[in-house]
Amino acid sequence: MGENVNSLGTHEKKQILIEYREKGGIDGLLDEEDAGEPSFVMHEGKRFDRVQIEDDNREYLMDEGGNLYDTKF
């Protein structure tokens, strides 16, 4: 994977959270073609929602605290 999610700045993380809220959570962020996939992942007993950053086609996972991870944690 190219970019390390830990390198995302506060502004980028804030954009993701704003879009998440404005679009009604994870379901509003997913493309229609992804509608068949679960909108979240359970890992080590925790829920991680699938999210994408605007203008970035890669998928990330966001925990309840707003922390971002790549899909391999």
Interatomic CA distance for residues 27 and 20, integer angstroms: 9
Q: Is the Cβ–Cβ distance between 31 and 58 less than 8 Å?
A: no
Q: For residue 1, what pLDDT is reported?
A: 34
The residue ranges of every structural domain in the chain are 5-69
Q: Report residue 48: phi and psi, to 5°.
A: -125, 120
- Distance between CA atoms of 60 and 66, rounded to whole angstroms? 11
Structure pTM? 0.49
24-50 confidence digits (pLDDT tens)? 676 665 654 455 566 888 888 889 999
What phi, psi does 51 have (nearest 5°)? -140, 160
